[in-house]
Structure 1
């Protein structure tokens, strides 16, 4: 299974915020620069994470984004569920035009595999993913 760029960037932003030495807000553009990715896309990701309640956004001088809760309370499986569409095939959504949809065992097998994938992620929190914070900070240029 391949995650969308939106989910990838969501997880990257959360990791970046979790490994910071301080809890001061950080500019979204700075995070994007550290990862070498589009600031525009990272801004959209930040907006999504604000709406989902994972991060806070602060305006004005010294503004930016920061975690809205402790990393131990952020479940990776939940983040992936909320940022992914999980429409693996056309038949996973409403209005399937596939003639074998009602009897398709492939759809069932893929659905089970998808659920198993996310269930594994349910076992992890952001705190666990970012437990090697010093190493991650060094790789990100000392956040």
Structure 2
């Protein structure tokens, strides 16, 4: 399974914001520069993260973005659930004629559940706490 770039960059944006001092705001432009991603793509990602409460966005001259809650309260599984379309196969009758007898869907649902359960064991804080190599790469002070 491969995460979409939407989820990938969403997680990276959260990692960057979590690496900053708690009271420091950043900008979408700054995040896009750090990761070399399209600003339009990042705007969509930040909007969805904001709607879900993972990010707080403040408009205006002194505005910016920052985490919407402490990093230790953000489970990676929750972020992936919010950003990732987790349907691995199309099991509609119109698309697949074996759907009524197929057992693949239930196996894949169990696999996704196990995947998310593992991600639920990790918080954003665990990814950044005392991670000096990360801070150096992100050029965070």
Normalised to the residue count of structure 2, the TM-score between the two structures is: 0.91
CA RMSD of aligned residues (A): 1.6
Runs (4+) of structure 1 exceeding 6 A deviation are: none
- Cα drift, residue 100 of structure 1: 1.1
Residue 67 of structure 2: aligned partner: 67
| Residue ranges of structure 1 left out of the alignment (5+ in a row) | none
State the 1:6 CA deviation. 1.1
1:110 paired residue number = 108
Classify the secondary structure of the residue corresponding to 1:90: coil
Q: 1:22 to 1:123 in 2, by over 3 A?
A: closer
d(CA) in 2 for partners of 1:137 and 1:86? 31
Matched ranges for 1:41-80 at <5 A? 41-80=41-80
Residues paired across the two proteins, number: 141
**Residue 95 (structure 1) shift:** 5.5
Deviation at 1:140, TM superposition (A): 1.4
CA apart distance, 1:134: 2.8
Report the 3-state secondary structure (helix = DSSP H, G, I; strand = E; otherwise coil) of the residue aligned with 1:86. coil
Q: Contact between 1:19 and 1:134, CA under 8 Å: does it hold in 2?
A: no
Which sections of structure 2, spanning at least 5 residues, go unmatched? none
- Between the aligned partners of 2:36 and 2:110, the Cα distance in structure 1 is 35
